[in-house]
Each structure stands twice: as C-alpha cells, then as structure tokens.
Structure 1
Amino acid sequence: MNITELFLIAMTIILGVPYLIWRVFRTDYWAPLVVVQIVTGIVLGPGVLGKIFPDYYATVFAPPVIGALNGIAWWAVMVFVWIAGIELDLREVWRRRRECGTTAGLALAGPLVAGCLAALGMLAWRDGWMGEAAATWQFVLGVGMACSVTALPILILLLEKMNVLREPLGMRVLRYASLDDLAIWGVLAIILLDWQRVGHQAAFLAVFAAVAWLFRRWMARLKESDRWYVGLIWLAACGYGADWSGLHYMVGAFLAGAVMDRDWFTLEHLDKLREHVLLVVMPVFFLSTGLRTNWSVGGTAVFVAAALLLVASVAGKLAGVGLAGKLLGWARGDAWTIGWLLQTKALIMIIFVNILLDRHVITSETFTALLLMAVASTMLTVPIVAPRLKRLV
C-alpha cells in the first residue's frame, strides 16, 4: 500500500473507533466523545496496540503517516488554543476582581502546591520521570501546574451539556477558569525561558506587543467575515514568532487569541468553529497524543504515579476552592460543586504536557501518568456534579 492509502486507513481508525465506542456503549454521561477520543488515542499508541500487534502498528503508523498526522494535529491544536484565548473575558473578571482573584488564586494554588509535592515524591521514589533538559525546579513546577490546569474549552462543553452554561453558576465558573488559564500560560512561559535565547524571547514579546496594538486597531475596522481570515493569518505568524524565540508555538497561539476581543465575533459562530474543530481535526491530535505514551518505566509505576497525581489534583483543587468559599461567604455546597467543575482538565492539560515533553522537561513516562490523570479527573466531573445540579433545579 502507498502512503496515501495508509493515511486514509489511519484516519478511518481515528474517526471511526472512538465514535463506535461512544455510541455503542453510550458513554456520554461519564465519558463524552472527546474523552473517548483521548482514551482511544492511548489505546492506539505504542503502549497498547503497538505491543499487541507490532507489525500492523508499524505498517499503518509508519513515519510518513505520523508526519502527516502531526502536521494536522499541530494546526488543529493551535486553532483550538487560539479560540480559548479569544474566549477569555477579562473585562468581566476585572469588574468582579475580588471574588475572581480570590477564587482563581486559591483554586490554582491548592493543586499547585499538592502537585509540586507529588512531583518531589516521584523524584525521590525512582529515576526516569524528569527530562534530560530540565532543571529540578522546572520539572516540579511543570507537574504542579499540570495538576492545577482547568480546561476552559472542555469546561464550556460540560457546562453546556448540563444546561448551566449561561446560568449564573456557569458564568461564575468560566470567570474563575479564565483567570487560571491566563496564569497557566504565563507560568509555562517562565518554565520554557531559555537563558541562551532570552534575547530572542524578549524581542518577540516586544515586537508582539507593538504589532498587537496595530493589529487590534486594524481588526476593529474589519467586518466579521474578514476578521476570521485575518485572525488565522495572525495566529500562524504569532505561532512562528513564539517558536522561533524558543518559547513554543502554542504560547504564540494563546497570545494571538488573548489580544482579540470576543465581541468581534458572533458568539454562535465562535461556538460553531470550536465544535467543527473538535469534530474535523482534533481527533488527529488525540491520536498523535496517544502515540507518545510510554510505559517503559513499568506499567505499575506509571499507574501509581497517575493515582498520586490524581489525588494531589483533586484534593488540592477542592481544598483551595473550599477556602475561597469560606473567605467569600458562599452558600453551602457551592465550593464542592465549583471545585469539581474546575477539576475538568482533558485538552488544555494535554496540550500543556505535550509542550513539556517537546521541551524535554518531562519524560514520556511522566507524560503518560499525567495523561491518565487528566482523563480520570475529567471523567469524574459530570457523574459527581450532575446529581447535585439536578437537586438545585
């Protein structure tokens, strides 16, 4: 078979297998399609399919096919992160800055501290977790932030699924998640700071700030149909600039969206674009993520590490939000509900740890443990929160 045929076989598997699992087993309540796609990506990776059917795996997922899939995955995830940046509503956050700052800060700090302690425990336990290019502080902070992440795009999908997206509770949670998203990318920039290329990075940020001001003035004068096209050009340019400077193209993608106003676009169109990206190209990213999973440290060790990180993430988030609830005088039970909703990880955390893996801050074994933790925490959200929301209606 030629490369085109192999590529189409791979695409059939990528799109078909998760959909069949989702529909046949009716997993939507505890595992939405996006979660099934992530899990299927892990199963189709070298750690499972590659071990059971090595010849078939080597044939279908040959290097040229993986190269083509990676190109689609890069663009898909850049567009997705760009949309997440656009959806940040910092003006509303500023209007409610005391409440949002307190909650978002504690929701981030709780799992960050717990995750950093878990990372130190992993390093003390055995070797093989930290990447060869990382300093200890980079690894510890990276794992801690991975435990703190809230996936804003997936949170939106889950809130919509539970019919609370436009309700007061849903809007509150989105404001807290927006602030945490902003902090996550800022910390990532610090982790990736390369002192040998700090001049390039400073130059990129300086040029970006100046060009972004001009870009915003220009975009405000365009009609919406032109804004979409110009915005995508801006996305590609910012991604290139960030990657050239030694940060990461994903940092550039987020910055490209963050300086754009959500009011420039019809909300319905923005929602549709996110849905279409999830439908058409993001499954390729999930597969490419699965292809990077590794169990060579030992399957048991990876699962133990994933369980440790899950406990740190959940306990830290609930503790942080619980403290915020007491300080702000929330109604009984609000902290529990909001804490679990902010526990949603999936995509953004997977993107975050993909970047850490690319930069050799973590190893593929740590990546696998964090990936399992992200999937588990996201799958827990709806079954735990939905019953309480029904009682409140």
Structure 2
Amino acid sequence: MQDTYLASATDPNLMLVLKVLPAIVVILIASAICGRLAILIKQPRVLGEMVAGVLLGPTLFGALFPEAQRAIFTADVKPILYVLSTIGLTVFMFLVGAGLDHGPKEGKSRAGRNGAVLAISGIVPSLVLGAAAGLLLFDKLSRPDVGKFEFAMFVGGALSITAFPMLARILYERKLQNSRLGRLTLVGASIDDAMAWCFLAVLSAMHANAGLGSALVTIGLSAVFVVLMLTVVSRLLRPLGEKVERTGRMGFDQLYIVIGVILLAGFFTDFIGIYSVFGGFIAGLAMPRNAAFRKALQDKMMDVTCVLLLPIFFAFSGLNTQLNGLAGWAMILPFLVILIAGFVGKYFGCALAMRSIGFSWRESYAVGGLMNARGLMILIFINIGLAQQMITQELFSMLVLVAVITTALAVPLYRWAIPTKHEQALVHGEFVPDKQKEPALV
C-alpha cells in the first residue's frame, strides 16, 4: 500500500494534476469575487473577470506574494491553462455565432452592408489616429530595431480592435444579442476583429521579413475557410438540426459532431495564423438555425463555458500582463495621447456611422460606447507584439490600461445614451426615440 502511494506521489502526470487543479480553483475564486464586485458597481461581470485575471498576474498577486504566485502558477501549469483558455474562448465564440439570429432573408444583404459600414467606421478612424499618435511618440516609445511605419501601424492596429467576445458577453447579459442594434454590433465587431488579426498577420510578416506574400496567403485561406463553412459544411449539418427539432433533444452523438466541428475549425484558423476564436465563431454561424437546436446548444454548453473556461482565459492573459511600464510622470502624457486617440476614433467613428444608416442618436452613441470595449482581445494583440519584439514594455503597459479603461467605460456610456426606460424597447425590437424627443446628449 505504501509502495503504491509512493509511486503515485512521484508520478509526473499526477503531480501535474495536483498543480493544475489548485490553480484553477484560485482562478475561479478570484473571478467569482471580482465578477460580483463588478455587478455591484453596475459593470458587466465579464469586466470583473478580466480585472481578476490581471490581478492574479505580476501586477498585484505577484508583487505582494511572489513566492505564492510562482508556487500556484508554475511554468508547467501555464501551458495547460493556455490550452484550456483557448478551448474556452473558441467554444464561447461558437455559441455566440450559433445563437446569432440572422433575421429575415430579405434583410440579410442590408444587414451585411450596414455591418461592414460599422466595422470600417470603427477601424479607420482609430487606425489613423492611433498611427498618428505612434508617429508622434515614436522616439519616446519605440524599440530601436523597429521602423517608424511599422511602429505607427502597430499602435493604430491595436487601437482599432473591439473585444468581440467581451462585447458579446455584454450583449448577452443585457439580452440584446438578437435586437437589431445587437445583431448589427456583433456583425460589425466580428468584421472589425477579423480585419485586425489580418492586419497583425501583415505586420508580423513585415517584422519577420517574411514578405507580404505570407500574409496574403493567410488572408486567402481565411476567405476560403469562411466560404466552405457557410456553404458546404452548413448544408451537411442541416440533418443534425432537423433531428434535434424532431426529437426535442440533443444526444451525445449530436454533441460529438458539434464539438468536433468547433475544435477542427479552431485548429484550422490557428494553423493558418488567424486566432482560433474566429474559427469557433464561423463554426457557430454554420450550425443549423432551428430554434430547438440553438436552445439545446445554449442549455448544454453556455454555463460551463462561462463559469469554468472563460475565467481561465482571462487569468492566463493576466499572467502575461505587467503594469510596471508607467513609472514616472514622463509616461503620463504619451499614455493620454494614446488613450484619447483610441477612444475618440472608435466612439465618434461608430456613432456617426450608425447615425448615417438610420439609427437614432441615442442608439448611435450607445454603439459607439460598446464598440470601445477592447477587453482582452487587445491584450492578445499586444502580447503577440511584445513576444515578437515589435513593442516595448512601456507601450505594452499603456495599452493594457487603455484596454481596462475603455472597457470599463463601455457600459456607462451605453447606459448614458440609453437609460433603463428605453432599453426594453431595444430588447423588443422597437425604435428608441431620437434626441429630438429627449434631452440632448451633447
């Protein structure tokens, strides 16, 4: 008996399990506490989970209790957390795509055009203003081996991101995901982020001297993937939806197929250089649109994904975040320049775009605020830039704070534009009164 115990105690697989499980428990406790605190101050739970991830890293936990932090989040635990976090985010974005109501067929082309308008308006102003800020701050913040154009484009690209997963969580928490405003915002944000990752692929290729050809191959393969998923794979999956509609339940056989499609889609998009989150989202869009099928997916997969897997994603990103780059007043002005460039470009660009396609000023300002939520997608973007030595630790830290501040402002700006008395109109698909009938917003 003692020999068996000693053998198991020295088993490397068992030892790894004994390291990973406490780390996950710590993550869940921190996420639950911070998520609840976020709700108490009328912020989305997901913001609290994001902050929890940052606090578990070297910013707070590692600074106050470095030995405990290293003992819990050891070097061999982090790869496991990375795999779990990637699976969690991919599955969540699949559920977002699968639950997205495409609306009536006659309105799809118009919705697509409007989503493209919103995406372009969210990207171009932020990209231009961010690039201008990058050029202005090049001498102060850039690495010596990075060119001025590359540096400016990286700053602009980072500021042009909208946190698609976080935006989706906010809309789901407010039951707005299938409102006309919610659907359009999700489509615009998905295009926004897909273009941002393609943009990062181009920058990475330029930085590695791999040439634009490598980046163009990635973009071409992404387009082929989307077409195949939304045509061939979508048709092949229709009998699956019909069976669930007929029987009223989703069995293990159907769930195996669904999960297999999610993981393969995520694998392919990761393999070609576009983050797996978009593979999951496109897989969701390819799923059958039957109401019973969509409900079964949400019932079986959403709660576990949000409670267990997504907090691991936030924590893993937080473990790579250090807010020690803003030491000294010399960095305050550059930080404010970057923050203002990112906020103004996204907020007013999206608001004016929404107004131009027929939404009221209230709805337009609300979308401008929501699209400013950059969340941890920008953290992924800048972590890649830091790992590839495209940016300095100081700029990285500034962009982390930009992510936290703009995300924290998203819901207050939304609630300022659309008070509670108007929100139910959005949920039920009704038109929110313009500022001509309400107190002026500006």
Scaled by the length of structure 2, what TM-score is found? 0.73
What 5-or-longer segments of structure 1 have no aligned partner? none
Change (3 A) 1:365 1:256: farther
Matching residue of 2:90: 78
Following TM superposition, by how much is the alpha carbon of 1:111 offset from its aligned partner in structure 2, in angstroms? Answer: 1.7
Q: Which amino acid aligns with 2:373?
A: T
SS of the residue 2:321 aligns to: coil
Aligned letter for 1:126? Answer: L
2:351 aligned with 1:338: no
Whether the 8 Å CA contact 1:42–1:293 is kept in 2: the answer is yes
Measured after TM superposition, the shift of residue 158 of structure 1 is: 2.3
CA contact (8 A) 1:185 1:251 kept: no
Q: Which moved more, 1:177-186 or 1:316-325?
A: 177-186
In the alignment, which residue of structure 1 is the partner of 2:233? Answer: 215
Rounded Cα–Cα distance in structure 2 between residues aligned with 1:142 and 1:166 = 33
Note the C-alpha offset of 1:381. Answer: 1.9
Alignment partner of 1:68 is 2:97: no
- On the 8 A contact 1:350/1:371 being kept in 2, the answer is yes
Paired residues for 1:199-278 under 5 Å: 201=218, 208=225, 212=229, 214-223=232-241, 225=250, 228-245=255-272, 247-250=273-276, 253-254=279-280, 256-257=282-283, 260-261=286-287, 263=289, 266-272=293-299, 273-278=301-306
Aligned-partner Cα distance in 2 for 1:359–1:31: 34
Question: Aligned residue for 1:17?
Answer: 30
- My pick for the range that moved more, 44-53 or 205-214, is 205-214
Q: What per-residue deviation string (whole Å, max 9, x for no partner) do you get for residues 54-112 of structure 1?
A: 22222222212223222222322232344455566597552345544433322322222
1: CA distance, partners of 2:157 / 2:240:
38
TM value normalised by structure 1: 0.80
Given that 1:72 and 1:284 are in contact with CA atoms closer than 8 Å, whether structure 2 keeps it comes out as: yes
2:314 to 266, 269, 286: 286
What letter is aligned with 1:145? G
Q: Distance in 2 between matches of 1:81 and 1:362?
A: 28
User: Do the aligned residues in 2 keep the contact of 1:93 with 1:175 (CA within 8 Å)?
Assistant: no
**Whole-Å Cα distance in 1 between the matches of residues 194 and 62 of structure 2?**
37
Structure 2: gaps spanning 5 or more residues: 1-8, 10-14, 245-249, 424-442
| Cα distance in 2, alignment partners of residues 196 and 160 from structure 1 | 38
Equivalent residue for 1:119, pick from 125, 130, 134:
134
Structure 2 residue 199 is matched with structure 1 residue 173 = no
Aligned counterpart, 1:321: 350
| Cα distance in structure 1, aligned partners of 2:421 and 2:69 | 48
Equivalence for 1:40: 52
- Structure ranking higher on relative contact order (CA contacts 8 Å, 6+ apart): 1
Q: What per-residue deviation string (whole Å, max 9, x for no partner) do you get for residues 265-314 of structure 1? A: 73334544344312111111111111111345443477665543332222
Where 2:91 maps in the other structure, the secondary structure is: helix
Q: Which range moves more in the overlay, 342-351 or 197-206? A: 197-206
Instruction: Report the CA distance between 1:377 and its aligned residue.
Output: 1.2
Q: Which letter does structure 1 place at the counterpart of 2:25?
A: T
Partner of 2:61: 49
Q: Distance in 2 between matches of 1:196 and 1:110?
A: 24
Query: Larger Rg: 1 or 2?
Result: 2
Letter in 2 for 1:57: Q
Report how far residue 152 of structure 1 moved.
Answer: 3.3
* Amino-acid identity (%): 25
Question: What is the aligned-residue RMSD (CA, Å)?
Answer: 3.7
Secondary structure of 2:153's counterpart equals helix
